Amino acid sequence: MSTIQRLAYRVDRRSILRASVFAGAGFTLFAPIGFRAAARQDSFTIAFIQGVIGDNFYITMDCGARAMAESLGNITLDTQGPERFDQTLQTPILSAVVQTAPDAIMMAPNDSRGMIAPIQAAIDAGVPVLCVDTTIDSDIQLADVATDNLEGGRLAARGLAESIGGAGKVFVVNVTPGISTTDLREAGFRDAIENEFPDIEYLGQEYGNNDANVSAQLTAARLQSDPDLAGIFGTNLFSAQGAAAALREQGLQGQVKMVGFDAGPTQVQDLRSEVVDLLIAQHPGDIGEVAVQLLHDFLTTGTPPNPKELVTGATIVTRENIDDPEVARYLYVADCAAYELAGATAVPAASPEATPTA
């Protein structure tokens, strides 16, 4: 079994921590000071503010959130997001959502520092905010539900190292500084390369601004300046899509190895056509399910999530395992037509269960 196959993991978290349902809407506890005591309500509105609209990752998360809302029966989900991953676009959306007085907000903040004040304003207005995927450098949020991005970056490094035979130059196409998730993926990647692979030279990262075209352009420039480049890590869907497009356009697929985070439809096509060697699929549907479940629990009982940092799983996708139903179920969707409630779970961050076993 190759290292990549051994790395391929699917942490079955179902048995570890079932996000609990505090059944019985009549079960009234007092909400923490500042939030409306909502437990006497029959139904609730949750606003979901995505990191960006039109991204298969957040679309899949929305499907999970909707499936959970439907199964709980008393949640209305209202989804929106900015057209670009940009705090100056997301902040007015958040402010407008707060004006509609939802019972809670789940959101993927566009910037770990820049979104603290707008989220604080929402909380001050009495609306609890739970962070999904990305987070803020603060603990004002009700909870965080996300992938273990640091470990995901390390897995990407190990996968790429295996693909290039443990030696050569590697380069990272990242998104924008200040995004908690992708910053952590790069940090995990760098950490593993520097500490585990002495014969690999890390050339550093460049930012494609969450734009596949910009990511393709900077990758093309890098292929020119470093013609002996051995491997590339694209830290999210659009970075990976762009980097793969550059490899394809220059006929370098297979020659320069590539690992991408996420598992959008174009990325899957790139994996199948051997432009990309490995994908790290997050479980966005699970994040959506768990987030709605936690908010429902909070709104009906007043008890905040404890612990408040939760992680869902990730799955390494290769050409060998992509058609295995246990892997294929984590490929991102374009709409919710085929999405089925998974009964997802999450585990406390930094717990032994949270670290995927290679």
Binding site for ligand T6T (CB under 6 A): 51, 55, 57-58, 133-134, 179, 181-182, 236-238, 261-262, 282
Q: In angstroms, what is the minimal distance from the CB of 349 to ligand T6T?
A: 15
Q: In angstroms, what is the minimal distance from the CB of 204 to ligand T6T?
A: 20
Alpha-helix residue ranges (DSSP H) falling in the chain: 3-7, 56-72, 87-99, 116-124, 149-163, 180-196, 212-225, 237-249, 265-272, 284-301, 325-328
Q: Which residue is nearest to ligand T6T (CB)?
A: 237
Q: Which is nearer to ligand T6T, 62 or 297 (CB)?
A: 62
- Tokens in use for 33? 């000071």
Residue type, 85: F
Structural contact between residues 132 and 64, judged by C-beta atoms closer than 8 angstroms? no
Does the bond joining 198 to the residue before it have cis omega, within 30 degrees of 0?
Answer: no
Q: Which is nearer to ligand T6T, 67 or 212 (CB)?
A: 212
Q: In angstroms, what is the minimal distance from the CB of 238 to ligand T6T?
A: 5
Count the Cβ atoms, other than its own, within 10 Å of residue 28.
14
Q: Three-state DSSP class for 48?
A: strand
Q: In angstroms, what is the minimal distance from the CB of 279 to ligand T6T?
A: 11
Residue type, 290: V
Q: Which is nearer to ligand T6T, 163 or 236 (CB)?
A: 236
Please, what is the angle between helix 212-225 and helix 237-249, to 10°? 50
**Residue 246 phi, psi (nearest 5):** -65, -40
Q: Which is nearer to ligand T6T, 118 or 153 (CB)?
A: 153
Q: In angstroms, what is the minimal distance from the CB of 312 to ligand T6T?
A: 11
Q: In angstroms, what is the minimal distance from the CB of 105 to ligand T6T?
A: 17
Q: Which is nearer to ligand T6T, 180 or 300 (CB)?
A: 180
Q: In angstroms, what is the minimal distance from the CB of 6 to ligand T6T?
A: 24
Q: Which is nearer to ligand T6T, 133 or 186 (CB)?
A: 133
Q: Which residues, in sequence order, are bridge partners of residue 314?
A: 282
Q: Which is nearer to ligand T6T, 19 or 184 (CB)?
A: 184
CA distances from 95 to 7, 13, 136 (A): 42, 35, 17
